[in-house]
Structure 1
Amino acid sequence: MTEKLTPTDPARVGGHRLLARLGAGGMGVVYLGRAESGELAAVKVILPEYADRTEFRTRFRREVAAARRVDSPWAVPVIGADPDAPAPWLATAFVPGPSLAEAVAACGPLPPRGVRVLGRLLARALTAVHDAGLVHRDVKPGNVLLAADGPRLIDFGIARATEETALTSAGMIVGTPGFLAPEQARARPASPASDVFALGCLLSYAATGRPPFGTGAVDALLYRTVHDEPDLAGVTDDTRAFLERCLAKDPAARPPAREVAEILADDTSDEDLDWLPDAVVRLVAERSAATLALPDIEATALDARADGRPSDGQPPDVPSDVPADAPAASGPVGRRRFLLLGGAAALLAAGGGAALWATRRDDDGTPSAAPPRARRWVLGVQADLTGPRKALGQAQERGVRLAVEQFNSRADKPFTLTLRTVDDRGDETRAAEAARTLAADRDVLAVIGSTGDGTTGASLDSYDEQLVPQLTVSSAQSAYGTAQPRHFLQTVPGYTNLPVTAAFSLRAQGARRVAVLIDRAGAVPAWEFGRTMFQNLGVIGIAGEPRVVPRLAENLAATVAEMVAHRPDGFVCTGTPARVAAVARALARTDFDGPRVLGHPAAGPEFLTAAGAAAEGWQVFAPYIAPSAAPVRAFATAHRKRYGAPPAYWAAEAYDVARMVITRLVEAGGRPSRQQLYDLLAKGTYKGLVRTYAFDEEHRWWLKGYETFRYEVKGGRYSYAGKADA
C-alpha cells in the first residue's frame, strides 16, 4: 500500500521521479519511484542523521555491495544505488504484490503444493545468497513478496559476508524473533544454516498460518526457539519431514539451501507456475491495480519553480503534445497507468477476472468502486460480546456507545457519528474476519478493540493493510507476532509497565526479599508481568527470588512451600485465576504473613470464588479504575441513567478512548483520512477521566506513563484503594 508524498519529501532521487511513499522506518524512507525508462523501483533513502555517521555509511555501502552480489530471479535485484550521496539511496525492482505475511493474514495458509513451490524457489534464492558468500540473517514472511510468477526475497539490509567482521555490537541479536535460528537467539554468529532454519520457520508459517514457536514476548520466543520443539500441527506428512530437518537445533544437521530446493523439486518448471490459491492471486491483482491508480504526484519542497511558485508536479518526461485542457486521465496519472498496464493486466488475468480500473479514490488514497456519495462518519467497535470475556467486551462497548450518543446529542456537532459493532466472540479466527469486515467499510475511520490479546493480535494485519487506526483498551502485550504494527495504539499501560508501581508499593510496605512465582499457564500476560516484576525489584534494591512453573505443573503447593522456606517477606504470583487461587490456598497454610500481589490478568470473580478465605489481603495493581471512583463519578451517573445499571470495570477506559477519537475528529476541521486521524491520535496528548493519553515517540503505539490503580481483597471483594504512585 502506498501513501502520498509529503511536502518535505524529495521530488527525485538518483534519476527516479518519486511517486509515493511505500513505508518509513527509524532510519529512512522507502519510496515508489519511476526511472526515465518507465521502470518502477522501490527507492530506499537514508535519513541525514544516519548518513552523517561514518559507521552507518560503511554499513550501508556493505548492504549495497551485498545485494548486488546476489543473482537469482527469486531475489529482488538492485537497479541503482549511491552509498556516497549526501542522502545515500538504494533502488530495487518494485514488486506490486503483497508480502507473505499480508497474504496469509488476509487469505489463510497456502495449500501444500503452494508451500512446496514457495520453499523451492526461496531455497534457490538463498542458494544464490550463499553462493555469493553472504548470509541473509532475516528470512521472514515480511521479507518475501508474492507475484503470480513466483516469490521474491527482499531486504539484504542486514546480510553480511561470512568472512567479514560484523558491524553490529557484540551480543546483539540480529533478525526477527520467531523466524531466527537458535544460534542467533543466543546472539551467536549466523551462518547459511541459520537462513535454512529461518526458511523452515517461514514455510511452517505459510502452511499453518502461525509461527512454529508461537508469538508473544521476545524473551519467550527466544526461549522456545532454543529449547522447545516446533509446533508443526497441521503440516502434511511429506512437508513435515523436510521441515523437521530444516528446524534442527544443531546447524550441522540442517540441509543446505541447494538440497532443500532439490528435495522440493517437482515436474513444474519455473516458467510454468500455477502455485497461488485464487484468493491470493486476487490480492496480487488488487495490489497491482492499486499501483495503477496512484494519486496525482504531490508537490514537494524540491518541486518549487525558479520564481518561487510551486510547480505542477508534472515529471519532465510527460509528452509535450498533451493538451493543457486535457482531462486528468491524460496527465501524469494517465501516463503512469499506460506504462503499467501491460504487467498489471497479466496479473489480473491470472486473478480469474478481477476488475482493473481506478475511476475514483477514497479520501485515504484507496481505490473505490462505489459512485460518489455522502460519506458517513463511522467509529467501529470490535469486542468479545458473547464469548469467554463477554463481560469485559460488553462493558467496553457500552462505554464507547455512551460517548458517541453524548456527542451526537450536541446541538453544535459538526457531523453525526455512527457506531458499528462486530462481535468476535473472543475467537482469533473470527477476530481476523471481523477486522477484515470493518476495515473493508470505507466509511469506518477508526476501530476500538479488540478485547483480548489473541484477538487483538489476529486483527492487526487487516487494519494495518487498510490504514485503519486500531485502539485497544485492554490488550497490553509488549509485542504481537513478529511485525511492528503501524496503525495501532495501545491505550492501556502494558504488562511490563504495571510492575513498576507494584514494586515500589512492596518496598513501601517493608518488603526486602520477594518471591515471584510465574505460572506459564497464564501465557504472555503472566510471563511479561512476572519477569518485569523481578527486574524492577532488582532496580529498586529488593532481592527477588523467581520461580517459573510449567503450564502442566500440578503440585503448586510444593513449589509454594519451597519458596516460603527461603523466608521472603513479600510474595507475587502471576497465572490463571484458578491456579493463582491454588497458590493462595497453599500460601495460607504456611506461616507467611507479608504482602501478597496478584497479577491483574488473573484478578476477577473466579479468583475470589476459587480462593475463598485465602484471597483476603491479596493486592492487585490494575490499569482500570474503580467505576465508583471520584474521577469517573459523572460518567457512572450517565451510565446508570442510560443502561439502568452502574458501569463495570473497563467501561470508563473505553469511554475515555472514544472521546479521544471524537475530539481528534472534530479538531481535524473536516473529514480526515485514516492516516491523518492516526497521526493526530499518535502525536497528540489527551486528558481523559481515567488518565492522560500520550504515546511513545519511538514505539509509537505504546502508551506513556504508568497510571495504575491499587485494589485489596477485603471481605471477599476487591476494595479500591486509589491510584498507585510509582
Structure 2
Amino acid sequence: LHPLLPSDPSVIAGYRLLGRLGAGGMGVVYLGRTANGELAAVKVTHADRADQPDFRARFRREVEAARRVSSPWAVPVTGADPDAPEPWMATAFVAGPSLGEAVAAHGALPGRSVRLLGRAVARALAAVHAAGLVHRDVKPGNVLLAVDGPRLIDFGIARATGETALTATDMVVGTPGFLAPEQAEARTDAVGPAADVFALGCLLAYAATGRPPFGTGTPDALLYRTVHDAPDLTGVPEELLDLVRACLAKDPAARPTAAEIGMRLVEDAPGAAAEWLPAPVVRTIAERSARMLALPEIDATAPGTGTAEPPKRSRRGFLLLASGAAVLAAGGGALAVRSALGDDDKKGDGKAAPPRTTWKIGVLADLSGPAGEIGRAQERGARLAVERFNAREDKPFALELKVSDDRGDRNAALEAARRLTTDPGVVAVLGPTSDDTGQSALPAFEESGLPLLTTSAGFNLFTRRDEQSPRNATVLRAMPSHLMGGAYLAFAVTLLPAVRKPGVLQERTDDQYSWLLVRGIQFGFGQAKIAPHYRVVPAHARDYRRILGEMIDAGMDAYVHCGVRETAVLAARALAGLGFTGPRFVGQHAFGPAFLKEAGPAAENWFFGVPVLDPLAREKDTKLKAADRARTAGFVAAHRKRYGAPPAYYTGESYDVVNMVLDRLARNAKAGRPPARKGLWAQLRAEKYTGVMGGYSFDEYGDLSGVGTFVYGVRNGAYTSIGAAPAVPANLAKA
C-alpha cells in the first residue's frame, strides 16, 4: 500500500480511500473502506480515458461481466458506477499476494497446493463460462491467494462468447505466455472457453515449476512459441502432468472443459484454514492482513487545499506503478506535497524553505549482486565526475552523489529507485545496471519525471513505445539497444569474407536479452544476404558438445552465441573439444574478466560485440586526434590517482554521461535557471556532447545515435580492442 497523492480524492461513493494499491495508464486502484469497516479494492479510471466512448463501453462491460459471475473463487463486485465522470468499480479486497508475487518471492508451490489452486480456479472459470463469458486473461497476476483459497480477479477484457464488436481483428488480447494459440494468432472467432482452459494449463505449470511453460521474453517471441513449440513441463508433478498436457493442447477441441478439470482435481476444498499453502506464503498473507487491520482512521482531506498536478502515467501498462514519486507530509490537518523541484520546496509550517545549495546526482546500480562488477564501475565513474565538478572554482552550486544499491534484484529495484526519486535534491540518475531491475524501477522515474541515463541496460522498451503509449521522456540510453547490438554484431561477422553459413544459437537463460539479440542478428544477416543455421535451446541445456556438434554437422563455419556468460563458457569448451576452428562471436552479457577466467584456453579467438570502449586502448589510439587522446589520458590518470587502478569497462561511459548532465546544469545556472528535473530530459536529449570516451548524441526516442558497438577479440588470454562495429554489412559497404 502506498500513500495517496494530493491530487487523489479522499472519498468515492461512500468508500473512504486509505491508499493506493497500484496505478497504470488506465487508472488507479485504491484501498477503500466502508463506514462499517469493510475493505475494498476501488478501481477508478482516468478522466481522459472516460471521455473515450469505446473505453467507457469496455469499462461498463467489465462491470457487467464481473457481476454475472457467481463463484466463491471469483472476487465479487461490491459497487460500481460506469456512468460517473470517472467510472469506478469496487470489489472485495483480498489481502494475500497474487500467485505471481508468491512464486517470485517463495518459489514454486508444492503439489497439493497446485491441485487445490487448479480445482478452485477451474471452478471459477466454470462459473465464468456458465455465465456465457470468456475471461481471456487468466494469468498469475490475476489469481490472488487467500487463507481460504484462491480468487480469480480482473474481468477487464472478458467478453461474451461469440462477441467481437469491441475487439479489433488482428489484435492480440491478453498476456503473452498465458494465451492460447488461437489468441496468439488473433483468431477472434475461435476464442472461446477453451482459451481459458489453455491459460489455466499455463497457470498450473507456472505454479508447479516457478516458470511459464513457454519461457519468458518479448511478446512476439512468446506468441511464436505458444503457437509452434511444445511447452516445457519439466518439474510438473507426475499426477498433474497428463491434465496439464491436455489443457495445453494446440487444438481447442482437444482440451477438457473447466468443469471437467474441477471434477478431475478431487482434493478437498481449502476450507477456512491456510494449510493449503506453504508456510512462507501464509506468513505473507498474515503480514498483509495485519497491516490492513492496523490502518488508522484518516480525516478527509481539508477543503481549499488546492489541487496538485496529477502524476505522470507509465508508458507501459504491464509495469505496476507505485505512488512514491512525491514525499507526503501532514500539516494543519491537510496533505501537503514537497515538489521534486527546488523552487517549490516548503517547510512543514508552510513557509518557504531556505534556498537549496546542495543538489544530488543519483546512481541506481547493482553494487552487490550478479552484475556488481559493472555496477561498481559505473558508481566510480559517476563519483569521479561529481568530485571533478566540486573541485571547480567556478562551480555554481555544490553537488553530492546519492547511491542506491538494487542488488541486481528485480523485487528490490522499485524501492531502491524510490530512495532516489522521492529525494527532491536528486535531479538526474545514472542507471540501471541491468534490464530486469530497470523494468521494475522505471515506473518510479516515469511518475517523478526524473531523467534516467543508462550505459548498460539495452532492453528496447526503455526508450521505444507502442502506438498506445506516450513517447519516452525519462530514459536516455548511451548505448545501443540489444536489438541494434545484435544487428551490429552480425555486421561484424560479415567482415570475415570466408563466413557463408554462420550458426546462431539462442539459449533462453535470459530469454528477453537473447531473443532481442537474435532478432537483431536476423536483420543484420538478412541485410548481408546470409542465411544462418539457427538453433534454440532451453535454459537448462548443458550438453553443448552434442548441440554444437549437430550444428557443425549442419555445415556452420562461424558460431554466434546469443546468451549469458555461463552458457557461452559451456559453448567455448565444447567447440574447443570438437576442434572447431571457425570464428566465434558473442554479445554484451558474456563480456568481462569472468569469461576469460572460466573458459581458460577455450576463450581464444572469441569475438565480442559490446557497448563499451577500453580507455587504456583509446588513450594510445594514434588514429584519434591528439586532443581526444589527451582527454582520455587525463581521465585514466585521474582514476588511477583516485582509486589506485586503471578504470574498468563501463567506468568511462558512466563518467561521460554524468559530466554531460553536470555541464548542462552549469550552463542552466549561468543563464539564471536553478537545477530542476522538469525539462532536463529534453535538454539532454538535444545534447551533442564529447567526452573522454567519444561523442554522445541521441535520437528522438532517447537512444544513442550512431553505432556504439565495439568489437574485441581474445588473444593470449586477454581482450584486444579491434574497433567499432560497421554500420552496414561489409559487402554493402564495399558496394
Pick the TM interval, shorter chain: 0.5 to 0.7
How far 1:158 moved relative to its partner?
A: 0.7
Q: Is residue 2:549 matched to residue 1:554?
A: yes
Counterparts in 2 of 1:200-219, with a 5 A limit? 200-219=201-220
| SS of 1:520 mapped into structure 2 | strand
What is the aligned partner in structure 2 of residue 256 from structure 1?
257
SS in 2 for 1:44: strand
Cα deviation digits, residues 539-587 of structure 1 (max 9, x gap): xx775645422442424445556x99xxxxxx9875675759999999x
Give 2:549's aligned amino acid. Answer: E
In 2, the alpha carbon distance for the partners of 1:527 and 1:640 equals 39
Name the amino acid aligned to 1:75.
Answer: A
Identify the residue that residue 161 of structure 1 maps to in structure 2.
Answer: 160
Q: Distance in 1 between matches of 2:281 and 2:678?
A: 30
1:66 maps to which residue? 65
Q: How many angstroms apart in 1 are the aligned matches of 2:130 and 2:2?
A: 34
1:494 corresponds to 2:481? yes
| 1:574/1:580 contact within 8 Å kept | no
1:496 to partner: Cα distance: 1.8
Q: Say if 1:543 and 1:585 are closer, same or farther in 2 by CA, change over 3 A.
A: farther
The corresponding residue for 1:120 is 119
AA paired with 2:113? G
What CA distance in whole angstroms lies between the structure 2 residues aligned with 1:14 and 1:529? Answer: 50
The partner residue of 1:382 within 366, 386, 409 is 366
Q: Is contact 1:518–1:526 with CA below 8 Å preserved after alignment?
A: no
Q: Return the alpha-carbon distance in structure 2 between the equivalents of residues 663 and 79 of structure 1.
A: 55
C-alpha change, 1:123 and 1:662, in structure 2 (3 Å) is: farther
Change (3 A) 1:37 1:50: same
| Equivalence for 1:102 | 101
Note the C-alpha offset of 1:120.
1.7
Give the one of 516, 520, 523 matched to 2:506: 520
SS at match of 1:709: coil
Q: Residue in 1 aligned with 2:642?
A: 642
Deviation, 1:462, is 14
The answer on 1:199 being equivalent to 2:186 is: no
Q: Which runs of 5+ in 1 are unaligned?
A: 312-327, 334-376, 425-430, 565-570, 667-676, 698-702
Give the structure 2 partner of residue 56 of structure 1: 55
More displaced stretch, 76-85 vs 575-584: 575-584
C-alpha distance in structure 1 between counterparts of 2:6 and 2:373, whole Å: 44
Residues 368-379 of structure 1: pairs in structure 2 closer than 5 A: none
Cα deviation per residue 1:322-367 (whole Å; 9 max; x = unaligned)? xxxxxx9xx999xxxxxxxxxxxxxxxxxxxxxxxxxxxxxxxxxx
- Whether the 8 Å CA contact 1:496–1:532 is kept in 2: the answer is yes
Q: Which runs of 5+ in 2 are unaligned?
A: 308-329, 336-360, 467-471, 538-546, 619-627, 667-675, 729-735
Q: Report the equivalent of 2:2.
A: 2
Residue 317 of structure 1 is matched in structure 2 by: none
Contact 2:404 2:417 in 1 (8 A): no
Of 278-287 and 394-403, deviating more is 394-403
Q: Report deviation, 1:402.
A: 5.3
Q: Return closer, same or farther for 1:211/1:530 CA change in 2, 3 Å cut-off.
A: closer
The correspondence of residues 137-536 of structure 1 with structure 2, limited to 5 A, is: 137-188=136-187, 189-268=190-269, 270-291=271-292, 292-293=294-295, 299=301, 304-305=303-304, 381-383=365-367, 392=374, 395-396=377-378, 398-399=380-381, 456=437, 460=440, 474-478=456-460, 493-499=480-486, 517-521=503-507, 524=511, 525-535=513-523
Tell me, what secondary structure is at the counterpart of 2:42? strand
SS at structure 2 position matched to 1:90: strand
- The answer to whether the Cα contact below 8 Å between 1:557 and 1:583 also exists between their aligned partners in 2 is no
Give the CA deviation at 1:684.
9.0
Farther-moved stretch of structure 1 (221-230 vs 190-199) = 221-230
1:433 to 1:73, Cα distance in 2 relative to 1, 3 A: closer
CA distance in 2, matches of 1:271, 1:654: 55
CA distance, structure 2, for counterparts of residue 27 and residue 13 of structure 1: 17
Offset at residue 439 of structure 1 (A): 9.7
Letter in 1 for 2:95: P
Distance (Å, rounded) in 1 between the aligned partners of 2:696 and 2:153: 41
CA contact (8 A) 1:72 1:128 kept: yes
**CA deviation digits over 1:363-404, x for unaligned, max 9?**
xxxxxxxxxxxxxx997753577x7x7764664465466568
User: Partners of 1:24 and 1:693 in 2: how far apart?
Assistant: 33
- Post-superposition CA distance 1:260-301 (Å, at most 9, x none): 2222233456345532233222222322343443795684xx
Q: Is the 8 A contact 1:580 1:602 kept in 2?
A: no
Question: 2:198 and 2:656 mapped to 1: Cα distance?
Answer: 45
Residues 1:711 and 1:414: Cα distance change in structure 2 (over 3 Å): closer
CA distance in 2, matches of 1:332, 1:397: 39
**What per-residue deviation string (whole Å, max 9, x for no partner) do you get for residues 211-246 of structure 1?**
222222223322333333333333332233432332
State how far apart, in whole Å, the 2-side matches of 1:602 and 1:73 are.
50
C-alpha distance after superposition, 1:639-690 (max 9, x if no partner): 2223332212222345568889999999xxxxxxxxxx99999999587856
- Structure 2 distance, partners of 1:154, 1:216, is 25
- The amino acid of 2:175's aligned partner reads T
Contact 2:698 2:705 in 1 (8 A): no
State the AA in 1 paired with 2:158.
Answer: A
CA contact (8 A) 1:102 1:461 kept: no
Shifted more, 253-262 versus 285-294: the winner is 285-294
**Cα deviation code 1:89-140 (max 9, x no counterpart):** 2222222322221122222322322222222211111111111111111111
Q: State the number of aligned residues.
A: 616
Change (3 A) 1:555 1:120: closer
1:32 and 1:218 mapped to 2: Cα distance? 31
Q: Which amino acid aligns with 1:638?
A: A
Q: Counterparts of 1:93 and 1:536 in 2: how far apart (Å)? A: 52
1:318 match: none
1:623/1:707 contact within 8 Å kept? no
Measure the CA separation in 2 of the matches of 1:28 and 1:436: 20
Aligned partners of 1:121 and 1:681: how far apart in 2? 51
Percent identity (aligned) = 45
Stretch deviating more after TM superposition (641-650 or 402-411): 402-411
Q: Alignment RMSD, CA only?
A: 5.5
| 1:225 aligned counterpart, secondary structure | helix
Name 1:26's counterpart in structure 2.
Answer: 25
Q: Distance in 2 between matches of 1:450 and 1:661?
A: 16
**SS where residue 125 of structure 1 aligns?**
helix
TM-score, normalised on structure 2?
0.66
Map of 1:315 onto structure 2: none
In 2, the alpha carbon distance for the partners of 1:332 and 1:443 equals: 23
CA contact (8 A) 2:363 2:431 kept: no
Look up the equivalent residue of 1:528 and give its one-letter code. Answer: L
Moved more, 394-403 or 250-259: 394-403
Contact 1:404/1:419 (8 A) holds in 2? no
- Cα distance in 1 for residues equivalent to 2:372 and 2:196: 43
Q: Is the 8 A contact 1:624 1:708 kept in 2?
A: no
Q: Read off the aligned partner of 1:4 and give its amino acid letter.
A: L
Q: Is the 8 A contact 2:50 2:85 kept in 1?
A: yes
Match of 1:427 in 2: none
Contact 1:173 1:184 in 2 (8 A): yes
Partner of 2:79: 80
* Conserved? CA contact 1:296–1:332, under 8 Å: no
Give distance in 2, aligned partners of 1:253 and 1:706.
Answer: 51
Q: Residue by residue, what CA displacement relative to the aligned partner does 1:161-211 show, whole Å, maximum 9, x if unpaired?
A: 112125222222222122222332222342222212212222222222222
TM-score, normalization: structure 1?
0.67
**Cα distance, 1:143 vs structure 2:** 0.9
